[in-house]
Chain A
Amino acid sequence: MHISEGVLSPAVLIGGAAIAAAGVAAGLKDIDQKEIPSMGILSAAFFVASLIHVPVGPVSVHLILNGLVGLILGWKAFPAILVGTALHALLFQFGGITTLGVNTLNMALPAVICYYLFGWGLKSGSGRSVFIFAAFASGCCAVLISSIMVGFSLYLTGEAFLPAAKLVVAAHLPVMFIEGSLTAACTLFLRKVRPELLEGVYAPK
């Protein structure tokens, strides 16, 4: 869900960049210099995971996984997603320089929101069904909120974008369910194999 260069109005670009900068600053505050190599490797893993294409009906879509990023990283999702977005622009020319802020914001804010809404459900004490629900909801909602924010960025640029914005949200409805199931299965995997990852080793203490 990257918005290309040249589409959004200056006001949206500046607003997006400003909020994203605040989020990145908040995330960076939580990161110790010592943790940077580990964070980088984890960001890289998410970057690569987002290149995976899964079939949805007759087409295939690539994974977004910002819900999972949020659950694992909390506020640190902002810097991680900023770097991922920048690399998407530099390596594949998805998005660009002026849209860096908006694109980061649209992916990272839902990640943080889901961390606060559902993160509690993933702690070691919670039962299996609560756990699955929280993970599924997080994967689902992150994509939903992101697509709404992308639609909203377009709408704020001009009312003429409204139908396009609606279509963006509608197109992501099936993706939401895939992302939800994948996030649930993936967190179950992590809970079995490496529970520390879900228990705030990376997210703020």
Chain B
Amino acid sequence: MIEELSSGNSLIQRLDPRVKIVLVFLFSVVVAVSNRLPVLMWALVLALLIVFTARVPAKELLRRLIPVNMLIVFLWLFLPFTFAGKPLFYMGSLPVTREGVLYATQISIKSNAMMLMLIALVATTPIFTLGHAMHELGIPKKIVHLFFFTFRYIHVMHREYVRLLNSMKIRGFRPKNNLHTYRSFAYMVGMLLVRSFDRAQRVYNAMLCRGYKGNLYSLSKFSLKGRDVISIVLMVAVIIILGVLEWKKTN
């Protein structure tokens, strides 16, 4: 269930993860503040291109786009009616405004462009590598370490959760709308917490035994290569063009 997307061997896979993080961040910020449809369309095209280069399996891609688009469908139910503007046509007595439809369209394109970019990032970089790269980029050590331990133990905790759930199942448990169900789930969460609390102590002890003094070391070294520089220049140029297009027309 909690599986990383990463693997494969695409061109983007081999880029320096720091470069990827910075570029995805810049891209997301520019798209988030943009409002013009042509700019957004180009951003979407760019994102599609990159996801394509990253060779994300189509099935995975669609599966991961579903949650974003659920919220967007929800917004489409409102925005065309509630956004003030010129009525395009009427649904019953409710006017559907031009501006509302435009606004909802903008949001749909923005969301999907940014999500595609994020998917391209996680599909080409293992999460642990992202952590090390974030540290290199100046994110405080405490946060990065917290991130590492959380991610590492999500799997252990998830297994413990599945086992507890199985233990409930084999004893005939079926979730229903009743107090017994809620209490059983509450006990399970409690047990999960208590066990994680103990495990935390034991793991810390195991680390002490191996000389832990508050440092985690990365075995992967990052270095900027030619292709990294080229992709930075290219992407930054494209992002600047997007930004300029947006800025020129709004002024």
Is A in direct contact with B (CB under 8 Å) within the complex?
Answer: yes
- Chain A interface residue count: which class? 35 or more
| Interface class of chain A by DSSP | helix
CA distance A153 to B162 in the complex (A): 35
Query: Which of B7-15, B142-150, B220-228 contacts the other chain?
Result: B142-150
Number of residues on chain B facing chain A (CB within 8 A) = 86
With an 8 A cutoff between CB atoms, is B151 at the interface? yes
CA distance A36 to B181 in the complex (A): 34
With an 8 A cutoff between CB atoms, is A83 at the interface? yes
- Given A4-B111, A10-B33, A97-B114, does the pair A86, B147 have CB atoms closer than 8 Å? yes
CA distance A83 to B116 in the complex (A): 21
CA distance A32 to B195 in the complex (A): 22
- Given A40-B152, A79-B143, A91-B4, does the pair A96, B181 have CB atoms closer than 8 Å? no
- Given A93-B64, A185-B186, does the pair A163, B78 have CB atoms closer than 8 Å? yes
Q: Which residue of B lies closest to A139 (CB)?
A: B186
B interface footprint on A38-79 (CB within 8 Å = 1, 0 otherwise): 111111110111011111110010010100100010000001
Could you tell me the distance in whole angstroms from the C-beta of A116 to the nearest C-beta in chain B? 21
- Given A54-B182, A83-B143, A93-B119, does the pair A164, B200 have CB atoms closer than 8 Å? no
Let me know if A194 and B182 touch, CB within 8 A.
no
Let me know if B115 and A48 touch, CB within 8 A.
no
Let me know if A45 and B196 touch, CB within 8 A.
yes
Q: Count of A-B contacts with CB under 8 A?
A: 247
Let me know if B142 and A33 touch, CB within 8 A.
yes
Residues of chain B at the chain A interface (Cβ within 8 Å): 1-2, 4, 24-25, 28-29, 31-33, 64-65, 67-68, 71-72, 74-75, 77-79, 82-84, 100, 103, 107-115, 118-119, 122, 127, 130, 140-143, 145-154, 156-158, 160-161, 175-177, 179, 181-183, 185-197, 199-201, 203-204, 207, 214
A-B contacts besides A5-B110, A43-B150, A97-B24, 19 pairs, CB < 8 Å: A6-B111, A13-B32, A40-B152, A40-B200, A41-B197, A41-B199, A42-B200, A43-B146, A44-B149, A44-B196, A45-B195, A47-B154, A60-B175, A82-B143, A93-B68, A160-B78, A160-B82, A161-B75, A185-B190
